[in-house]
Each structure stands twice: as structure tokens, then as C-alpha cells.
Structure 1
């Protein structure tokens, strides 16, 4: 470390003198740093241009799509009877629809009778077990359970324990949300079918694969919930309400098991018949008179009441059948929500005024030629008066049925049917709104205004791009305004620094060969003749459809659109206009290749935000300058230390001379 003595003996401002000496020595270093700053600015300018090209390339990708050139407009001779829309795939033609004798309708099943004798007091938000039904749901004893399995290996075995095997036909098994049909043990299950073995193992006809999700709703004979005492709590809450057949045991820390008696009134008795607590069968809350010993395990086994029903629906995707398990603690609204979100394709509804239920299929049309499209069966179906056993296209003793119907009509002279009033023919989407006899004509024509606007927007974006590039490549270069050094910044105000830097950054891409070459190539692309069998000779250049270069030199080659001529070309020959732009060898493909090539060159030159310096040329230059800056800084540090060493030696010599002079003076004075 250099010991610096700064002018104590000589009285000179050594720091100032060294600084002045170093200022001259630092000139090459400052030039290197300025060169680095210019390269960084230039890199950023290149990247900014590349971002603009990326946006334009994305637009070119969009302009390759047929939808930009085949916009269709549809006119109906009577919108009150038929409306229509058309996709870009629709042909330019017309359709005649007549003799609409029947509109498509959804099958509806409506209960004839109220589910309760007291509709005013029936609460669909409260537990079903507490409500009054005309027909009892035939509650059974057991517990409705749900388990979900995430399959982690192909052909994974899935098994259930504590099951009511005799209730298998009421279960619901879904794989990835699709209902599987539960079949008998013989023969082997087929596609989308499942069997349940006596030991609770599920055998799938369609093998499970990794990533599948299996959900099973099933009946268990009972449910056991366990708790561990913290030594102070006296209350425990079961996860279920409206419980029955409760048995309670405790296991202490020495594994001693104690069983308790639970009376019908909910009182809990110990072995001496003393009441030690209570259970509320309605809420599932257990309360002990005193806390159980710490870490004692409490096991509570109980049952509930349940019922079931199934819905069999014929849909556009085939037959869908699903079983529904209903707990006595469920509300009617809960059941309705389960049905409506199940995927079985129906919408269930309860009318609180009449106390009646209805089910409407979510799809219109007739999908089951052999009978009804909806079949609802089971004890709970009877309780809500929706069982369809024996129902036909009219009604039975339980329900009124409005059978699903297809729309029937004549299309271009052909009698036909559709399951929906909205249907698609050759890219035209029709909607029938009423029945009628006389023909309604639907005409599909080219939407010239939309196509024109798409092309105009594209030309505007192109003009914006070349304007940005032209300005950048023609910026004036102020060579008398290099980047400011640190010392220079200290001498200028913030405003002066800003003004200086603005000029220092100007013109860094002036006459850049990549960008000027890009402009030239894009102009060539636009004015080339497109050779394509789908393009008429009358429209094989953009000038022939009304797009020309501005005569103003200052516009830098911007394109000008003759609106009337372009619209006329689109109207007269839309196929040629489309293929002039997006066809084989068309303008869009040529521009895409040109832009893509320029972007590659700019990336090689300046990289992007993900590039390392060694991956592009400016980055390699920056790394080289950084190395030279480091070497030069080390040399300057050595030079500065040498200057201080020299001045320190001078100070020490002066100090020594002063001491000798003082000594001689003292000696001479003493001699007198």
C-alpha cells in the first residue's frame, strides 16, 4: 500500500497536482469508455428496430390467414324467420329455406303432482330428512362416501374398503369426469364400463393410464371419525349432521379401549350407566361433561339416511347414464345443483309456488328413436314425482312429457331435419326462428368493406415501419458530441446533459446497410409481379389494385391507397386479390422472408435480451473493450501510485533538509 504524504513539508497541493497529471493520462481510458457507450447505444437501437420488425412479422403471420380476405356478409330475405352468419369458409352463393313445419325443441319432463302437501312451508335450502314429502324417499341406512384417486401408474389398481356391496348398482364412477357404466361381474367390462369385485376392487374395461382421475360415489355401511384429546376440550364436531346408530369408544395412552353406551336421547353412558356426555343427532356435536385425558383417542362410528335415483339421457354424444346418491342431510337445492352440474345434460328445477319439479334437457332434438330421450328412475325420483317408468311420448301417472323434436324443413329443395334450430351448412350458420311455408332466401356475398379495411390496416402498419426505419437511418450524426465523461458531467446541469446526450445518440444507425437493405428489399417485394395460377394478370401487381408509392420523396417510399380502385378490385376478383397477398409467392410470403432474414442479421449484430455478449458481434466488441478498460485502469492506478511515491520522496527529502537546517541553526545559536 502506498503511503501518501500530501504537501506537509513543501506546502504544495500534491492531490491537485497528481489529479492534473492523471487527467492527461486518462484521455485514452475516457475514449475507450466513450466507445463502449456508443456501442451500447447502438446495440439498443438495433434491438429496438428488431422489436419493431418482430411486431410486423406477427402481422404478416396474421395476414397469411384466409379470414382477412374472405370476410362474408349474409342477407336474409326475412330476418323474422331465418337469420344467418357465415365464416370465411362459406362459398359465395344463396340458399332457399321453406316448409319449416316444426322447430327443434328440448325434451321436458314435468311432475303432475306436488312433492309435498305443504308447499308454502317446504324449504329447499334445508335438510331433506326434515322435510315433508307426499311420497317418502324410502330412506335407507348407510353413509354416502366419495373418494377421488389420482392415477400415478398405468393399470393402477383401485380398491375401496367398508362398502355396501349390494348397493353397487346405485354407485357413480367417473374417470376424468366421464361416467362409467357399472356392469355385472360377467362378462368382462367393455369400453367405459367398470365392475366392482367382492373385495372392493374396481376393474375398468378401458385401462387406466397415468394422470387419470377416478371419482367414486358409493355407499358405506357406516362411517368412523377419530379425534385426539388435548386434555382441555369437551366438545367434538362430526363432519356430518343428522346422524344415527352412534357408537363411541376411547383408547388411552396405554391402549386400553373403553366402549360407551349411547341412548336414543343422545346421552352417553359409561360402564356404571352414569351420564358422561351427550350427542346431538341433528347437528353431530358431541359434548362431554369433563375433558378426556390428554392424547386419548376418541372414535365415533355412525350411520346416516340416504336415497338414490338415476338419470338416463340420450344426447348428441350418445347415451349418458348417471346415478345420484342423496343424503338425508342434503337440501333439495344441493341435489338440483349436483344434477345440473353433472354433465348428464339436463336442467332440474323446483317451483316453490306449486311444489312441483321439472327436468329439461339442455339440448334440443330427438336422439332416441326408440323412445324418450330422458328416463328418471329410483326411490328419490318417486319422492320428487319425476319417475318416468312407463312414460311415453304423452304422459303417465307421474309426469307430463313433452318429447324432444327435430327441426323439419326444406333446404334448397331437399326435405331434411336438424336436432337444433341453429345449424351449419358449408360454413353458413343458420337459425330458424319460427315455422313458415313460403321460401326465405339467404344470400352469402363477399364483405368487401371488411377485406378493404384489413388490407388498409396492413398497409398502414407497413408505412409506420418504414417511417421508423427511414428516420433512424437518416438521422444526423453529431460527431462533435461524443458521450460525456464523468468529469464533463460534473460541469453540466441536468438539462445540459440531456441535450448533449440527445445529440450524442443521434445517427448511430445512419445509412446502416442492414436496415437500408431491408427497406430496398421490401419495396422490391411490393412491386414484384406475383406469378400464381390463382392470380389474374389484371391483378398480379399491387399497382393494379390501387396501391402505389407516394410521389413525395420525404415520405421514404410509403404506400398510398386508391380507395375506390382497391374496393373495386376486391369486389370484381376477390380470389386474385387474396392470392396476390397470401398465395404461393405472394407479397406476404416475400415480405415475411425478407423481414425474417433482416431480423437474423440484426440478432447476429446486436443479440436480444436473452443473449450473452459472446453470441453477437457488438457484445464481443464490448467484452474486448471491458478487458482493455480493466488493463488500462490497472496501468493508471500504477502510474498514480508512482506519482504519489515520487512526491512522497520529495516531501521526505524536504522534511529531512528542514530538520538538518533546524539542527544547524540550533548548533550555531548555541555556539554564541
Structure 2
């Protein structure tokens, strides 16, 4: 915005005058601004109303229009403490008998206590399995196999394998597992109940080459440097690949090398992803190692270049200085021997000399160009020597490193670094890494396949060989492994035996949940009946939702007039309090849809749809047939009431026709009410169908038409603002011309007065 220095000669308040001149035109343009504001408020009000209408359409109305939703059943049990039953629409009406023969169990294993290892140390999650006694024969490794349905994990026990590794392997197989450090016991269990989810834990022996191959895979993939998710990904990949046949692995290796190959099955895609996971981790590690090696090599070259260029006349410092350097080195690393400290000190001495020679070179250049003037008897060499003498060893190290960094950044060194990296990481190296990964995977799989069964070492973990079928219950008071076998639930329904993996069994439309066993000869009676109350509640919920939205629509349509109210300008808002502004705008917004044609048409159509009747089995039904009517109070404007509704004070004492209809003729009530609701559903569907350039689908108002009008108004407002700016500039230009003319006139008057000998 330009800064105007106006009224300097005339003394007029030009800004105020221009503002008043422009205000008349601004007031004319305010009508367009008001239209845009009112349209925005109208869009907001319709958007809010549309959301509520659509919610009615998709929830309570959608439920009520489908006759199948009236088929819910009410089920009662003679003994809820043993059996709880619910029924869907297909549940057979009448009485049924149930006995509970067996409850479902999840397999659970509780190990014996393992307090100390073979070395007498307290057992923790970090205790190794070998220290616990899981030891294989010479040249062998123990393999613990955990099978849980289709999942299988094999844990090759090495000298580093811990109790926590065993727990994590159980978890990877889909089990719950924990070593309780207070009880010193392993707790292992299936997540799901039923015989289908039994698991086994067994041990065997394999050649130690399996452990070597697995360790090679982990080393190449930088396993120890990965986070938990990365380690889990490698473990999962190894487990997937070791289950493949030799032929499948060979084919997989070939496919992994073919970038154009597309897996043909989900299983193959998973296998290919597993192989590439390990290969990519291995390649990432090799690439990172190659970069580190190349950088270190280049920095070494840079340091050598610096020393070679600056230490041509180097001679070792005197014994006193060398001893000081040795003391410094030992202070930074107390573990160094005297001999090693002396080697480092000699290196630092040479670096210090290089720093001094560099300062000397810079001083010579500065003296030559006149930027450095030395005292009498001083030269560049003595200047450099004095400078170095005033620096600490830390500062000298920093200056030398700066010289190395400058040399390291040179194109020559950077080229050497790239050449070194290229020699370490290239296409051939990438292929070698992939081949090494593949070879170790194959070796690991081959050695595992050779495993000899029956290592029998799980007792060292407080466990035993677990086949997943037997229940092990030691004598009372003894400390031994306890196994609860997986079992299915079993019930007898009307003479038929039914089983399930959980204690909830679904059959013939009934959902039966057993919580206890029946005794011999005992049965539980259940009764299935139509759920009249649920149907009544569904209709009542619809009526409430419909009344809520209709009441709002009536309020909006019949709102009082606000003809004398217009949106406030910025100046008007500035002269009012926030509360006054809010009340003013709320009054306008509340009447924004007054006598709106679209709203009126929609309200009338919805009322008419619910006043319609339908025919079922040759008989006509309307809402009134079920005691659902409008009030005689015209001010309610079509709100519905249910005769006998206990929550409706005016109608609570009337005969409850709706509940009676559901009890006496549920089919007729369901089909008739669903038909009337369908009429309203169709009406609302038609009212929110899409019309090109007018309204979008699922929209009850002309949103597209309003959006087009908004764009037109915004364009008009922008044009008006440009016109106001031009008009304002025009007035300022005119006043500026006037000021210029008055200044010239004053100058001429002053000159004339001077000639006549008078003063202004």
C-alpha cells in the first residue's frame, strides 16, 4: 500500500475526503458482498441439514424399510449361569433342550521351576540355553521345533542363544510365551481354544554347519544392528525359505535375478519377498561398509598429501616437547602403553609442524600483499612459531584437521574416493553378495533337513517333549511341567451333538455360549419367540429420528422474517460488541431457509409419503392402523405420535396398537410398516438424485447451482474491489494535482512579495 503525503499545502484532510467520496460507491457494491455472505450461510445451513437427512435415510429409515429386520427373535434360557443363547432371524420358534458335555480349552504349558543354571547363576531371560544344559553332541547343535497349526519355527541353539530367544520363537509361531522371573517358570499357551489350535515343542540335533550358515546369514544382513522390526523380518524370511524344497529354492534364486519376473501365486510372492528381504539387508550393509571404507581411505590420502606438502624439512622436537606430547596422549587414552603413546605423540608432533609451516606460508603471502606487517627482526618463520606456541594441542589438532578437510574436499581426493567405492561395490560385488546369501540359505535348509530326532534336552528348560495331544498333570505338590491339552466344546441340542473350537457354537440361527457343564441327566430349556419389543423399539427409534429432523425443517421453513437485517460491514462490526454481532448474524442465519422452495417441497413430500397406505394379503394398512398418527395440534405441523408410548405424555394412556400388532400378526405388521417406510425411502432417494449442473447425488439441495453462483459473486466482488481501488487512486491523483498547483501559486506569490518588499 503506497504511503501518501497529502494536504501539505492545502491543509486539507485528503484521506478523510477520499474515503468519504469512495464510501458511496462502496455502499453500492456492498449489496454484492451481502449476497455472497447470505449464499455462504445458506450453503452451510443446507449442508448441516443434508447431513442429518442422509443419516435418517441410511440408519433408522433403512432398517425400518426391510421386512427382514422385523424377524429378530427373543431367546430365554432356564439357566443363564450355564448357557446363554441369542437368536437371529432364522432361529426356529419354540422350545429346545441343551446339555453341555464339554467346554473348550486352549492348550497351555507351565514349565517346572528353573532357578539357577549349570554355573549356579540365577536364571534370567538373558541366560543362554547351553548354560541351562541344552547341549548337543560333538559337532552338533540342538534344534527346538515349535509347531502351531501351519506355523513352524526352528530355533538353532548356539552358544549365544538365550532363554528370551526361545520365548520370541514361541511368539513368532503364534503362541503366547513368557519366562516369569519371579516364579522362574516358562508359561506357553495357544491364543485360541480348540483341538485345531494344539501345538508341539520338540527337540532334535543337526550338524553345527546349520548354526554356522544361519550366523552367516545374520552377519551379512547386519542382524545385530537391526531394530526389532528388522530382526523379525529376517527371522520370518529365513523361516519361510528354509521350508522350501531344493528345486523351489533354485527356481526362486533365478526369479530373484530376473527383474521382469512376476510371481504367479501369493505363496510365491511371499517367498520372493522373503529372499529379497535378506538380500537387500545384506546389500545395504555391504554398501554402507563400502562407503565407510572409501571415506576412510580418501581421508587417509588427504592426510598423507597434507603431511607430504608441509613437512619436507621436519625434524622431531626436543625431548621436553615430546614428553609433553606423550603426557597429553595418555591423558586422552589411559589404556595406551608407553610405546603406543610415543607413536601417537610422534604423529602429533609431525602434524603440529605441518600446521606451523602452513601458518608460515600464509604469513609470507600476507606480507607480500601488504596485509601483514611484522615488527623489526621478525619474519614469517618466527611469526608462525610464535603463533603455534600460543595454541593448545586441542587447537592444533583442530587446525590440522581443517587442512585435511580442505584437501579431502578437493576433486582429486573425491575422485579417488569414488574409484575406491566403485572397486568395493559394483555389479559383480552385488551378484557375489546375493550368491553368498543364497548359498547360506541352501546350506541352512539342507542341514536342518538332516536333523536327528529325540535330542531330549527340553527338560533343561523345565519342559519336556510336547506333542500337543496329551495332558500332563504331575502329583500334587511336585514341581514338574503341567500341560493342559487343547479340547473342543461339545453340546447336545435337541438330541444332536455339536462341537466347536470355542465355547460359543452357532447352529440353526442360535448362538449358544456355554459357561459351565450340565450334570448327568440335566438339561437346559431355551425358548425362542418373536421379539416384538425389538420391533417396537425399531419403529419408535425411527419416529423419534423423523420427528427431530421434521421439527428442525419446520422451524427453518416457518422462521420469522429478517427483511430488515443485512450482513454487517467491517465498519458496522467495529462499532458493536462481539455478543451483539453474534446475535445479529444468528438471527439472519436462523431464517436463511425461510419459505425456501426446495425445503418446502421436500418437507411436503416426506409427510405425504408417510401418509400413504400399502396392501398386504388383500388388506390396506396405513400408519394409523398401528396407532401412529399426527397430532390435532396444527402447530406441530406433522409430527408423529405412537399410541400407548410411555414416553409420550399425551398418548401414553392410549391403546398400544403397535405392540399388539407385532404380538398378534407380526407378518402383517412387518410387511405393512416396511412398505410405508419404503415409500418414504423412495421419496427421499428421488429428492437427492443427481441433476447435471444443479445438484450432486445424495444431496437434497442444489449444491452445484449454489457453487456456480458463489464463483460468479466472488468474481464480481473482485471486479468491484478493483474499481474501488481505481476510483480511490483517481481521487488521490486529482488532489495531488491540486496540491501541486497550489504549491506553484504559493511560490509565485512569495516571489512577487519579495520583489515588492513585502512578506507573506
| TM-score range normalised by the length of the shorter chain | 0.5 to 0.7
Note the 1:358-369 alignment, pairs <5 A.
358-364=482-488
Picking from 715, 728, 734, the partner of 1:646 is 734
Instruction: Name 1:271's counterpart in structure 2.
Output: none
Partner Cα distance (1:53, 1:346) in 2: 61
Instruction: Name 2:44's counterpart in structure 1.
Output: 44
Instruction: Name 1:541's counterpart in structure 2.
Output: 622
Say yes or no: does 1:520 pair with 2:604.
yes
Note the 1:336-347 alignment, pairs <5 A.
none
Picking from 457, 461, 465, the partner of 1:332 is 461
Instruction: Name 2:57's counterpart in structure 1.
Output: 57
Instruction: Name 1:93's counterpart in structure 2.
Output: 94
- CA apart distance, 1:89: 2.5
Deviation per CA, 1:148-193, whole angstroms, max 9, x where unpaired? 9xxxxxxxxxxxx99659x9xxxxxxx999x9999xxxxxxxxxx9
CA RMSD of aligned residues (A): 5.7
SS at 1:437's partner residue?
Answer: coil
Say yes or no: does 1:141 pair with 2:140.
yes
Deviation per CA, 1:191-217, whole angstroms, max 9, x where unpaired? xx953459877899988343568889x
Partner Cα distance (1:609, 1:451) in 2: 28
- CA apart distance, 1:587: 3.0
Note the 1:576-615 alignment, pairs <5 A.
576-582=668-674, 586-600=675-689
Say yes or no: does 1:635 pair with 2:711.
no
Instruction: Name 2:743's counterpart in structure 1.
Output: 655
- CA apart distance, 1:22: 0.9
Moved more, 489-498 or 597-606: 597-606
Note the 1:528-567 alignment, pairs <5 A.
528-532=612-616, 537=619, 540-562=621-643, 563=645, 564-567=656-659
- CA apart distance, 1:542: 1.7
- CA apart distance, 1:556: 2.2
Note the 1:38-187 alignment, pairs <5 A.
38-59=38-59, 60-63=61-64, 68-77=69-78, 83-97=84-98, 102-103=101-102, 127-131=128-132, 141-142=140-141
Partner Cα distance (1:2, 1:415) in 2: 94
Partner Cα distance (2:681, 2:735) in 1: 68
Deviation per CA, 1:269-325, whole angstroms, max 9, x where unpaired? xxxxxxxxxxxxxxxxxxx9999x9xxxxxxxxxxxx9xxx9xxxxxxxxxxxx999
Partner Cα distance (2:698, 2:526) in 1: 54
Partner Cα distance (1:602, 1:44) in 2: 20
- CA apart distance, 1:492: 2.3
Deviation per CA, 1:235-292, whole angstroms, max 9, x where unpaired? xxxxxxxxxxxxxxxxxx9xxxxxxxxxxxxxxxxxxxxxxxxxxxxxxxxxx9999x
**Quick check: 1:472–1:509 contact (8 Å CA) kept in 2?**
yes
Say yes or no: does 1:493 pair with 2:622.
no
Instruction: Name 1:424's counterpart in structure 2.
Output: 506
- CA apart distance, 1:416: 4.2
Partner Cα distance (2:554, 2:663) in 1: 34
Picking from 479, 502, 518, the partner of 1:355 is 479
SS at 1:85's partner residue?
Answer: strand
Partner Cα distance (2:138, 2:33) in 1: 88
Change (3 A) 1:139 1:645: same
Note the 1:269-284 alignment, pairs <5 A.
none
**Quick check: 2:65–2:681 contact (8 Å CA) kept in 1?**
no
Instruction: Name 1:35's counterpart in structure 2.
Output: 35
Deviation per CA, 1:404-448, whole angstroms, max 9, x where unpaired? xx55x5x54x55454677533311234473143366532101222
Picking from 453, 458, 462, the partner of 2:537 is 453
**Quick check: 1:128–1:329 contact (8 Å CA) kept in 2?**
no
- CA apart distance, 1:16: 1.6
- CA apart distance, 1:623: 1.4
- CA apart distance, 1:65: 6.1
Deviation per CA, 1:347-399, whole angstroms, max 9, x where unpaired? 9999995233343343326xxxxxxxxxxxxxxxxxxxxxxxxxxxxxxxxxx
Partner Cα distance (1:117, 1:25) in 2: 94
Say yes or no: does 1:195 pair with 2:245.
yes
SS at 2:658's partner residue?
Answer: helix
Instruction: Name 1:210's counterpart in structure 2.
Output: 269
Change (3 A) 1:608 1:532: closer
**Quick check: 1:26–1:636 contact (8 Å CA) kept in 2?**
yes
Change (3 A) 1:670 1:448: closer
**Quick check: 2:471–2:484 contact (8 Å CA) kept in 1?**
yes
- CA apart distance, 1:139: 9.1
**Quick check: 1:85–1:428 contact (8 Å CA) kept in 2?**
yes
Partner Cα distance (1:72, 1:44) in 2: 43
- CA apart distance, 1:635: 2.1
Instruction: Name 1:303's counterpart in structure 2.
Output: none
Moved more, 633-642 or 78-87: 78-87
Moved more, 515-524 or 460-469: 515-524
Partner Cα distance (1:492, 1:110) in 2: 76
SS at 2:89's partner residue?
Answer: coil
Moved more, 512-521 or 660-669: 660-669
Partner Cα distance (1:324, 1:27) in 2: 97
Partner Cα distance (1:601, 1:107) in 2: 55
SS at 1:362's partner residue?
Answer: coil
Change (3 A) 1:49 1:606: farther
Greater per-residue helix proportion: 2
Partner Cα distance (1:616, 1:205) in 2: 47
Change (3 A) 1:660 1:56: same
Moved more, 523-532 or 512-521: 523-532
SS at 2:7's partner residue?
Answer: coil
- What runs of 5+ residues in structure 1 fail to find an aligned partner? 149-160, 168-174, 183-192, 217-224, 232-252, 254-287, 294-305, 311-322, 366-405
Partner Cα distance (1:114, 1:10) in 2: 106
TM-score, normalization: structure 2?
0.53
Change (3 A) 1:511 1:118: closer
Instruction: Name 1:572's counterpart in structure 2.
Output: 664
Change (3 A) 1:105 1:42: closer
* Count, aligned residues: 491
Partner Cα distance (2:470, 2:557) in 1: 66
- CA apart distance, 1:580: 2.7
Change (3 A) 1:642 1:541: same
- CA apart distance, 1:557: 1.0
- CA apart distance, 1:33: 0.9
